[in-house]
């Protein structure tokens, strides 16, 4: 963090604290700073190609990026078979091959529903560890709000995990129906339009 005299910092800023010692010299103590929470929302699914493009560019520039696509299947990937791109991008999709677009079909088929829930929850547990590891410069949680809407991931668990994250870079969340408490946590909200 660069501190400039032209910037005014609030008293509640926890990034830097000035500590006076007995010799009246100022010492600066630095605290770990998490990156921003960015939310991208759209009225329709499948509109986040720009985020995936940016993740590839960031990885090519040397940043360590984790892209989790919660509600995309079709490739039987899972945590164990994550795809590595540009040496720095880890791309993970569900281990289940069904693309989670059709709610009615999922609800009718109990076995399919169970498999989707288990594979999505596996992604969430992996993601929680990564958010607290500090090993990534950027983490993208694509369509995590749909997983909340389907009651696979608990909204309060997501909020708690984001509050306790340890990542120097940004966390990007995408979705259509976004709970108000998560909108209030965001440092940036981008509305994508067709």
Take residue 46 and report the two structure tokens written for it.
């499948």
Q: In the structure encoding, which two tokens stand for residue 34, read together?
A: 């998490």
Structure tokens at 47: 């509109």
Answer for the pair 128, 166: CB distance below 8 angstroms, yes or no: no
Tell me the whole-structure pTM to 2 decimals.
0.76
Check residue 48 and give its pLDDT.
67
Task: Check if the beta carbon of residue 142 is closer than 8 Å to that of residue 67.
Answer: yes
DSSP secondary structure code for residue 81 in this structure: G
100-128 residue pLDDT tens: 556 677 778 888 888 888 888 899 999 99
Distance CA 125, CA 87 (A): 23
Q: What is the pLDDT of residues 29-56, one digit of tens each?
A: 333 556 899 998 887 666 567 888 888 8
List, in order of start, the domains of the chain with CATH numbers: 34-192 (3.40.50.300)
């Amino acid at each position: 963090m660069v501190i400039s005299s032209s910037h005014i910092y609030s008293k509640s800023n926890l990034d830097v604290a000035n500590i006076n010692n007995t010799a009246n010299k100022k010492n600066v103590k630095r605290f770990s700073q998490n990156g921003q929470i960015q939310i991208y929302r759209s009225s329709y699914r499948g509109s986040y190609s720009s985020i995936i493009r940016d993740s590839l560019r960031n990885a090519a520039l040397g940043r360590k990026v984790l892209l989790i696509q919660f509600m995309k299947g079709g490739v039987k990937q899972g945590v164990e078979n994550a795809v590595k791109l540009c040496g720095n991008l880890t791309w993970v999709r569900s281990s289940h091959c069904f693309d989670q677009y059709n709610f009615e079909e999922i609800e009718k088929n109990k076995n399919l529903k169970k498999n989707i829930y288990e594979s999505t929850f596996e992604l969430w547990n992996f993601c929680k560890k990564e958010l607290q590891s500090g090993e990534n410069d950027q983490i993208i949680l694509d369509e995590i709000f749909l997983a909340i809407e389907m009651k696979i991931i608990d909204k309060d668990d997501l909020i708690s995990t984001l509050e306790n994250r340890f990542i120097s870079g940004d966390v990007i969340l995408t979705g259509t129906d976004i709970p108000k408490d998560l909108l209030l946590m965001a440092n940036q909200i981008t509305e994508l339009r067709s």
